[in-house]
Structure 1
Amino acid sequence: MIRYYDHNAPFELESGAVLPALRIAFHTYGELNAARDNTVWVCHALTASSDVADWWPHTVGEGRFLDPSRHFVVCANILGSHYGTTGPLHTDPATGRPYYGSFPAFTIRDMVRAHRLLADALGIRKIRALVGSSVGGFQAVEWAVAEPERFGRLALIATAAKASPWAIAIDETQRMAIEADATFGEPRDDAGMAGLAAARAIGLLTYRGAQGYNLTQQDPDEYPARHRAATYQQYQGEKLCRRYNAYSYHAILNAFDTHDIGRGRGGVVRALERIAARTMVVGIATDMIFPPAEMRRLQAMIPRSEYREIYSPFGHDGFLVEHERLDAILRPFING
C-alpha cells in the first residue's frame, strides 16, 4: 500500500529554487527489525513508481533478492514523478493551480536529498543494501557517494556515474518529440500526449535494441495489413499516455542529464573513491545505453567492487526481464 511522508518545510533545490513543501510517496515491504539494520532500499527508474513488486516482477518475495521475510524493503517515488511525490501536476501554493511547465528544474542530487529526508523520518540510519538500475542507479551511486557511511552494500545495474553524451542525445531526441506537440505547455493534465507517445516509442528503441525487436515483432508470412513492430510502437506510446504525463516525463529527462557524480567533488574518479559500501556492478551484454565496457570502467573506479554481466536479448530492459539471472547474483550479495 502506498504511503506518504510530508516534509512541511521549504525544500531548496540544487538550482536555488525552493519548493514550499515536499510530499514523498513510498512503499515498504516487510518489517524493520529491532536493530534497524535490515533495510534494502530500491531506487526506481524513469517512469516506474514506488511499488517495486509492480514494476519489477518476481524480485519481491520470499527467497528473492528483495525478501520481505528477511528485509525491510523501501522504495521512494522520485521527485517530479507522476506517482505521488511532488511534481508538475501538484498544486503550486503560490498560484493555487498545478505547476505544469513551471515546475522548477531539479537534479538527481535533489532526488537523493529527498530520499535522505525519508530515511531519516523512518528512523533508518544504516541501510544494509542500496539497489538501483538505470536512472535508479544514478540515484544509488549519488547517495552512496554523498553518505558513504550509511550503506553496507551497493548494487548498481545498467547505469553510470555520469550521463554520457550518447544518453543525453537520446533524451534530447525524446524532448524534441514532446516539444513538437503544439499542446505541450498548455495548462492541462493531458497536454503534450501525442509528443509523449512519440518520445516513448523513441526511447523503446534504445531500451530494447535490434535483438529484442527482431525476436518478438516478426511479421507473419502473409502480407500484413499492419506491421507488428509498428503497432507495438503505437501501443507502447498509448500505454504510457494512459498512466503518465508529458510534464513529468520531460522534467525527469532533464534531471537525468544533470547526473555527474564528480560535479563539485573533484571529478568522477575522486567522487567514486568515497564509496565505502561493498559494491556489485552488473552490466547487460546487449545494453546500448550503458554498454558493458562502460560498466566495467565504472566498476574499476569503485573500491571493494566486483563486476558481473548477464546476457539478455532485450538490451537495457534486460534488468526488468532477466529476474532469475539477477536473483542469482544479487540474492547472495545482499544476504552476504
Structure 2
Amino acid sequence: MPQTLTLPQFTFEDGTTLRDVPVAYQTWGTLNAAGDNAVLVCHALTGDPDVSDWWGALLGRDRALDPTEDFVVCLNVPGSPYGTVSPLTVNPKTGARYRTDFPIVTTRDTVQLHRRALEQLGVRRVACAVGGSMGGMHVLEWAFETTDDGAPFVQSIVPIAVGGRHSAWQIGWSEAQRQAIYSDPKWQDGEYPLDDPPTSGLSTARMMAMVSYRSRDSLDGRFGRERMEEQSEKPYAVESYLRHQGKKLVDRFDPQCYVTLTKQMDTHDVSRDRGEYEAVLASIEQPALVVGIDSDVLYPLSEQQELVQHLPQATLEILSSPHGHDSFLIELEELSEMVAGWRANANVPSSVAA
C-alpha cells in the first residue's frame, strides 16, 4: 500500500514555497545498510506509485525490478491526485485546497522534491532510475543529480519512449487536450466544484491522448470498421473504445491535475539553462539503456536514436510492437527481459550494482 512522508517545506522553480508537503510513495524490497541499492521507478502521466498494478510483470525475482536485490521505490509526482502535493491538497496556511493557487511545476521540481524524499527514506545513491514517457523525462533529469562529493547520485538510467526535450509536436498534443478541458463550461477557470468537475472536457482530452498513444495499425487491427451492434446508436467499435477510455479516466482523475501534469511535461528540456543541447546530452556519462518503440507516433523512435547518438554510454533497444507509445505498458515480458538483461551487464560501479 502507498505511504506518505511529509517535507517541512519545498520551493518550486517559480519561487513558490509550500509548507508541509506530502509525497506519496510505495516500496518493495529492503534498503541495504549503505543505502545504495535503490532502484527508482518513475511513473507516467496518469500513473500512481503502485508499480505492481501497472508494471507488475517487471517486478519480481530475476526480473527487471528484483525486490530480492533491489530496494524498488516509486514516488508520486507533484500535481498528481494520488497523494503527493497537488491542486487538491489542503494548504495548511488557509485550510482550503490549493486549486488555482497551485504553483507551476517543472520536471526539475519533481526530481528535486523526490530527491529530498529519497534522502528522508535513507537512500544515499540510486543504482538505477527507470521510467517511460513522463517517467522517462524524470529519468533523464535524474542523470544531472550529484552527491556532495560531485559523484552521480543515480548510477545508471533507463529512459523509455521519450526524447531529451518536449517537441512542438508533443506540446501541441498536450495543448489540444488542455483546450478540450478549458472548453467544458464546467471548467470555470479551474474553480469548478469538486463534486461537479468538467468531466466532458477531461473525457475528450483522454480520448485524444489515446489516439496518440496507439498507432494506425493497432487501431485498425483491433477495431477495423466494426460497429457495436448491441448499442442503440451502433457506434463504430473504435468510438466505443475511446468513450470507454475517457470515462475510465474521469472516474479516477482530476481535470486540474491533468492540466498541471501536461504543463509539467511541456517543461521537459534537459538543455534548459545548461548549454547546447547535444553537449548537454554528451555530459550524461552514466550507463544508459534507451528503449524505443518502432510504432510510437507520439515519441517516435528517431528521438531515442538521437539520445543514443549523443549519450556516451548508451545502448538502444527497440520494442517491436504494433501498439504505439503504450507498448511499454503492454509488452511487459519483453520489456522486463530487455531491462533485466541490460542491468546484469551494465558497467555500473560494483559498490552500487543491484
The TM-score range, normalised by the shorter chain, is over 0.9
Conservation of the 8 A alpha-carbon contact between 2:227 and 2:235: no
Name the CA distance, whole Å, in 2 between partners of 1:44 and 1:240: 16
Out of 296, 301, 310, the position equivalent to 1:292 is: 301
TM-score (norm 2): 0.91
Cα deviation digits, residues 262-300 of structure 1 (max 9, x gap): 111013223223323111111000001111112101111
Out of 276, 296, 308, the position equivalent to 1:267 is: 276
Alignment of 1:147-226 (within 5 A): 147=146, 149-184=152-187, 185-189=190-194, 190-220=196-226, 225-226=234-235
**Counterpart in the other structure of 1:234:** 243
Alignment of 1:274-285 (within 5 A): 274-285=283-294
Greater shift, 78-87 or 305-314, is seen at 305-314
**Structure 1 residue 63: Cα displacement:** 2.2
What is the letter of the counterpart of residue 326 of structure 1? L
What is the letter of the counterpart of residue 295 of structure 1? Q
**Structure 1 residue 95: Cα displacement:** 2.8
Conservation of the 8 A alpha-carbon contact between 2:23 and 2:85: yes
Name the CA distance, whole Å, in 2 between partners of 1:17 and 1:52: 30
Conservation of the 8 A alpha-carbon contact between 1:57 and 1:320: no
Alignment of 1:129-144 (within 5 A): 129-144=128-143
Greater shift, 242-251 or 92-101, is seen at 92-101
SS in 1 for 2:26: strand
Conservation of the 8 A alpha-carbon contact between 2:4 and 2:23: yes
Conservation of the 8 A alpha-carbon contact between 1:25 and 1:77: yes
Name the CA distance, whole Å, in 2 between partners of 1:155 and 1:28: 19
**Structure 1 residue 220: Cα displacement:** 4.6
**Structure 1 residue 188: Cα displacement:** 2.2
Cα deviation digits, residues 52-93 of structure 1 (max 9, x gap): 111223111222101111211000000110100000111123
Gaps of 5+ in 2: 346-354
Conservation of the 8 A alpha-carbon contact between 1:14 and 1:106: yes
Name the CA distance, whole Å, in 2 between partners of 1:217 and 1:102: 43
SS in 1 for 2:4: strand
SS in 1 for 2:238: helix
Percent of aligned pairs with the same residue? 36
Cα deviation digits, residues 214-235 of structure 1 (max 9, x gap): 1222355896722211111111
Name the CA distance, whole Å, in 1 between partners of 2:72 and 2:238: 37
Conservation of the 8 A alpha-carbon contact between 2:145 and 2:152: no
CA RMSD of aligned residues (A): 1.6
- Aligned pair count? 335
Gaps of 5+ in 1: none
**Structure 1 residue 37: Cα displacement:** 2.5
Conservation of the 8 A alpha-carbon contact between 1:32 and 1:39: yes
SS in 2 for 1:151: coil
Q: Give the ranges of 4+ consecutive aligned residues of structure 1 lying more than 6 Å apart after TM superposition.
A: 221-224
SS in 2 for 1:5: strand
Conservation of the 8 A alpha-carbon contact between 1:145 and 1:272: no
**Counterpart in the other structure of 2:8:** 8
SS in 2 for 1:329: helix
